[in-house]
Amino acid sequence: MANKEPFVEDDLRVETVVVGMLQANCYLAGCPKTNECLVIDPGDDVDLVLQRMKDLGWQARLIVATHGHFDHVLAANELKRLTGAPLAAHKLDVELLRQPGAALGMPGLSGAEAGGELDDGDEIELGEHAFRVLHTPGHTPGGICLLSGGVLFSGDTLFNTGVGRTDFPGGSWDELMESIHDRLFELPPETKVYPGHGPATTIGYEKMNNPFV
């Protein structure tokens, strides 16, 4: 299911495709000038993701996993095969990516192999845009967010009036709170936040209204 009104800022276009049984947000962050996009968190329903890319005339430049849980990466291998785009994730979640269901009690799910390992401060170039990697552990050891201008893809670190769970193996409430308060809440309040599940929000709104932080 794609959103009807894509968000555009500084010529960066964001398309949302809701995928899988846990209704995760797979994002296509595209540069219309080059017709390239990042595919962020392809958690399932590869046909829906590919169809939206086809509708837009976009080619995948890179597939990025904000973390290694199955609902964010289940379609990653198939998308790699069909588009030729590499897959990247934080180095601390590479092993989790190989067994994305193990931490959630579903060890039989097929995993994915990241061809690139990301670290805090890395930059991903896409046409005229750059995405900075913010390492935000807590939900998983290698959880990341991606920041481009006034747009943040927060994975399962921060939601609209919610935060990521920390009761799975590798989770840490203290680390999650540090990631949110010391990294994300230092961003400008108007920063648009695209979370791994649920509707978009802003940093300012979450600072004022999120009951968990």
| CATH number of 85's domain | 3.60.15.10
pLDDT digits (tens, 9 = 90+) for 33-88: 999 999 999 999 999 999 999 999 999 999 999 999 999 999 999 999 999 999 99
Is residue 193 in a domain?
A: yes
Is residue 143 in a domain?
A: yes
Ramachandran assignment for 154, one of left (phi > 0), alpha (psi -120 to 50 degrees), beta (any other) = alpha
Amino acid identity of residue 34, one-letter, is T
Is residue 1 in a domain?
A: no
In a 13 Å sphere around the CA of 41, the CA atoms on its Cβ side amount to 31
Contact present, 66 and 41 (Cβ < 8 Å): yes
Query: What is the extent of the structural domain holding 190?
Result: 7-209
Q: Which of 211, 194, 126, 43 is nearest to 203 (CA)?
A: 194
Give me 157's structure tokens: 């670190």
pLDDT given at position 106 = 65
Q: Which of 56, 139, 153, 133 is nearest to 88 (CA)?
A: 133
Q: Following CA atoms 2, 132, 172, 190 in sequence, which dihedral angle do they give, to the nearest 10 degrees? A: -70
pLDDT given at position 3 = 45
Is residue 132 in a domain?
A: yes
Query: Total domain count for the chain?
Result: 1
Is residue 14 in a domain?
A: yes
pTM: 0.93
Is residue 2 in a domain?
A: no
Is residue 173 in a domain?
A: yes
pLDDT given at position 102 = 66
pLDDT given at position 98 = 87
Instruction: Return mean pLDDT, the chain.
Output: 92
Is residue 24 in a domain?
A: yes
